[in-house]
Chains A and B, each alone.
Chain A
Amino acid sequence: MEKIFVVISMLSILYDLVIKKSAILRLTAFISITLLLIFVGVKFKHFPVIGLFETLNFYALSLILVVFIWGTEDSRFNILTSIFLLILLGLSLYGKPFSSPFVSDSLNTLLFPVHVAFSFISYAFFTAAFFYALLNLDTEKIIRLNYLGFLNYTIGLWAGGIWAFKAWGAYFLYGMKEIFSFVIWIYYSGLIHLKFSSNRRLINKATIVGFIIVIFTYIGIGLFMKNTHSLR
Chain B
Amino acid sequence: MKYSIKKILLDTNYTFFALSLVSAFSIIGAFIIYLNPHLYSSIDYKALFVWLFYNRLPHNFWLYGVLAGFFFLGISALICTIYDIKRRNIFTLLFHICFILVLLAHLINAVISYKLPEQIIPQGKSSIIALPPPHSPIRFFLDRIGFDMTPAGYPKNIMVKLIYKYEEKEASGTLKINEPIKIGSNYVILKYIAPYLRSITFKLRSGERLLIPVLTPESSFNLDGTILEFQAHNEDMTMFKILMIEGEKKEIMIWKLGDTVKIKGVDYQIERIIPDTVGSAVVDIVYDPSMYIIFIASTIFTLVLVIRLLYGKF
Measuring CB to CB, which residues of chain A are less than 8 angstroms from any residue of chain B? 100-102, 104-106, 108-109, 111, 143-144, 147-148, 150-151, 154-155, 158, 161-163, 165-171, 173-176, 179-180, 182-183, 186-187, 189-191, 193-197, 199, 202, 206, 213, 225
Contact = CB atoms under 8 A, between A and B. Distances in A.
Contacts of A171: 291, 294
A186 B178 contact: no
A108 B158 CA distance: 11
A169 B33 contact: no
A166 B314 CA distance: 33
B71 interface: no
Interface of B: 12-13, 15-20, 22-23, 26-27, 29-31, 33-34, 40, 43-44, 115, 150-152, 154, 156-158, 176-180, 187, 189, 284-286, 288, 291, 294-295, 298-299, 301-302, 305-306, 309, 314
Contacts of B18: 190
Contacts, number: 132
A109 B291 CA distance: 19
A164 to B, nearest CB: 10
Contact of A168 (B40, B189, B309): B189
24 contacts: A101-B151, A151-B309, A154-B302, A154-B305, A165-B291, A166-B178, A166-B189, A168-B189, A168-B284, A170-B44, A170-B286, A174-B29, A174-B33, A176-B34, A179-B26, A179-B30, A182-B26, A183-B30, A187-B20, A190-B17, A193-B12, A195-B12, A197-B16, A202-B13
A147 B12 contact: no
From A100, A143, A144, A165, residue with most partner B Cβ within 10 Å: A165
Contact of B23 (A111, A183, A202, A225): A183
A151 B306 contact: yes
B178 A108 contact: yes
A166 B179 contact: yes
A193 B301 CA distance: 15
Contacts of A176: 30-31, 33-34
Contacts of A143: 314
Contact of A179 (B19, B29, B158): B29
Contacts of A173: 44
A165 B289 CA distance: 12
A190 B179 contact: no
Contact of A163 (B26, B178, B294): B178
A158 B177 contact: no
Contacts of B295: 162
Given A151-B306, A183-B26, 12 more contacts: A100-B152, A102-B154, A104-B156, A148-B314, A154-B305, A171-B294, A174-B44, A183-B23, A187-B19, A187-B23, A190-B18, A213-B23
A46 to B, nearest CB: 13
A156 to B, nearest CB: 10
Contacts of B152: 100, 102
A158 B304 CA distance: 13
A197 B14 CA distance: 10
A8 B301 CA distance: 41
Contacts of B33: 174-176, 179
Given A170-B115, A183-B26, A194 B314 contact: no
From B40, B150, B306, B314, residue with most partner A Cβ within 10 Å: B314
